[in-house]
């Protein structure tokens, strides 16, 4: 395990390797008396595994060092943030403090649900301070899911449900698709064993059935692109089991699922991506509604690619994704990849990653939630509804994607785009048709807001907003208007 970690960081600069080695030695010393894990392995194996996961996604040295030390404050007697500051550095100490859970024994006056909510709030606050706190937490949870077989059945189910309800959505927000897919499938395996096996069998039968056809399609794509002198690499991947299970629930018939097999075509630049897609669409029948341009209009979690779904010679559909090498790194590793590209921006990896998080749509919802004085149970409820629930993705007239909780209305959309739009909304069009302001939006809807900035703010829209964010913005506007009236009086 140690060898794998140090092989992975071999390309890091010398000072980074020295820092990670110091953290490794300190973690090894502090965990010397920790209880063995349920697997019977020495406890130190877990932090090394977490650090290795972080190194695999190109995390920076401070993050890897924090991965090695992430359990020391919580599990090792006498270890404090100040000790880690002294022995390593303040940044690593801050990240370790951020991932440390509240001590349940020292806070026995609170019930378990309240402590878990406070732990979650600490994590959410940590994201706004340093996204690396979440990245370490995700790596920690991923390794715990990999070793969940040694836990009791009850623990397997409870941890799997928490993973699906909290960690998987958060991984998705910051684009950590490798983490997300693996955590999903482990959680699926332990919490819904019967459905997991059924889905695994269905995918196996499906891929065996279309094995010859997919090879024919790949061979034809290779021939077509080589004839046009396009430089590329190509591979085919299966959809992960939990995502496939959700698609089966939605469509019931595999023949309606166009991306069970994803053909990834990695081109040398963006221009070649567009050219390659056109070549393939000219040759094959394709599904126009499945053609997506996530290069021009990236997803809210940084994902970029061109998509098209083609019909093979035997009538099955396959999704083709056209990406560059840089896109692939970001698509796989999300926000962590921005450390990898930080040198191009002449800023530290930590600053680049935090800047990217601040630009993400979910960030302003998190900050609004943290700033609002509410009870722990309210915080938990709003977080589930506003951040962790099912999402929809709608479009502005210019094609930009706006992410909202399912059930949102045009007024919620307006506030998410700009608080002035929400305050002065007069009407809304969805897909070029006027709709009531109470209309429930659906994914892929195109929304146009009619505003009149000369009119006073509309303060009677409370009945047609569904999201905490819009409600909070509306209440702030009401308070401001009341203060203006009082001053005039």
Query: What is the set of active-site residues?
Result: 74-75
Per-position DSSP letters for 148-159, written without gaps between them: GGGS-HHHHHHH
> Count of H helices and E strands in the chain?
24, 10
Of the candidates 119, 131, 202, the one whose C-alpha atom is nearest the C-alpha of residue 162 is: 119
Spatial neighbors of 25 by CB under 8 A, at least 6 apart, are: none
Quick check: helix, strand or coil at residue 436? Answer: coil
Q: How far is CA 41 from CA 49, 149, 294, 379, in A?
A: 12, 14, 44, 38
Task: Name the burial class of residue 108, with classes exposed (0-12), middle (13-18) and buried (19+) by CB atoms within 10 angstroms of its CB.
Answer: exposed
Q: How far apart are CA 280 and CA 410, in angstroms?
A: 38
Residue 356 makes CB contacts below 8 A (sequence gap 6+) with: 302, 335, 338
> Widest CA span of the chain, in angstroms?
80
In eight-state DSSP terms, residue 286 is: B
Q: Are 313 and 336 in contact (CB under 8 A)?
A: no
Provide the 3-class DSSP secondary structure of residue 392. Answer: strand
Q: What does the buried/exposed string (b/e) look like for 458-471 if buried means 16 or more CB atoms within 10 Å of the residue's CB? A: beebeebbbbbbbb
Place of tokens 């030695």: 25
């Amino acid at each position: 395990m140690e060898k794998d970690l140090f092989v992975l960081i071999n390309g890091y600069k010398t000072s980074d390797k020295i820092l990670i080695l110091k953290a490794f030695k300190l973690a090894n010393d502090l965990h010397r008396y920790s209880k063995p894990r349920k697997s019977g392995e020495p406890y130190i194996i877990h932090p090394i595994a977490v650090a290795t996961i972080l190194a695999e996604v190109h995390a920076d040295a401070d993050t890897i060092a924090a991965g090695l030390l992430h359990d020391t404050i919580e599990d090792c007697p006498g270890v404090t943030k100040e000790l880690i500051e002294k022995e390593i550095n303040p940044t690593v100490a801050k990240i370790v403090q951020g991932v440390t859970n509240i001590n349940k024994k020292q806070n026995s006056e609170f019930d378990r649900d309240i402590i878990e909510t406070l732990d979650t709030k600490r994590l959410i606050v940590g994201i706004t301070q340093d996204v690396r706190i979440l990245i370490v937490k995700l790596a920690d949870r991923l390794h715990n899911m990999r070793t969940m077989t040694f836990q009791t059945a009850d623990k397997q189910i409870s941890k799997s449900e928490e993973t699906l309800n909290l960690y998987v959505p958060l991984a998705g927000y910051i684009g950590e698709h490798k983490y997300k897919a693996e955590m999903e499938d482990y959680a699926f395996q332990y919490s819904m064993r019967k459905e997991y096996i059924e889905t695994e069998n269905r995918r196996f039968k499906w891929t065996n059935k279309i094995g010859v056809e997919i090879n024919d399609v790949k061979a034809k794509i290779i021939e077509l692109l080589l004839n046009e002198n396009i430089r590329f690499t190509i591979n085919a991947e299966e959809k992960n089991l939990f995502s496939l299970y959700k698609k089966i629930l939605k469509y019931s018939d595999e023949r309606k699922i166009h991306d069970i097999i994803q053909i990834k075509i990695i081109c040398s630049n963006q221009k070649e991506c567009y050219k390659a897609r056109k070549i393939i669409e000219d040759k094959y029948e394709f599904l126009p509604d499945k053609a997506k341009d996530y290069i021009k209009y990236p997803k809210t979690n940084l994902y970029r690619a061109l998509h098209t779904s083609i019909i093979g010679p035997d009538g099955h559909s396959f999704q083709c994704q056209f990406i560059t090498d840089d896109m692939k790194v970001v698509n796989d590793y999300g926000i962590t990849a921005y450390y990898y590209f930080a040198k191009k921006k002449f800023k530290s990896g930590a600053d680049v990653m935090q800047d990217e998080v601040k630009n993400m749509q979910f960030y302003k919802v998190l900050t609004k939630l943290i700033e609002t004085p509410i009870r722990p149970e309210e915080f938990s409820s709003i977080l589930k509804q506003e951040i962790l629930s099912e999402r929809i993705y709608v479009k502005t007239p210019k094609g930009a994607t706006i992410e909202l909780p399912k059930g949102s209305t045009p007024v919620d959309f307006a506030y998410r785009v700009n608080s002035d739009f929400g305050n002065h909304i007069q009407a809304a069009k969805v897909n070029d048709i006027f709709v009531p302001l109470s209309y429930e939006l659906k994914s892929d809807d195109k929304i146009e807001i009619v505003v009149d900035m000369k009119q006073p703010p509309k303060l009677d829209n409370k009945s047609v907003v569904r999201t905490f964010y819009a409600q909070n913005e509306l209440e702030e506007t009401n308070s401001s208007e009341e203060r203006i009236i009082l001053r005039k009086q």
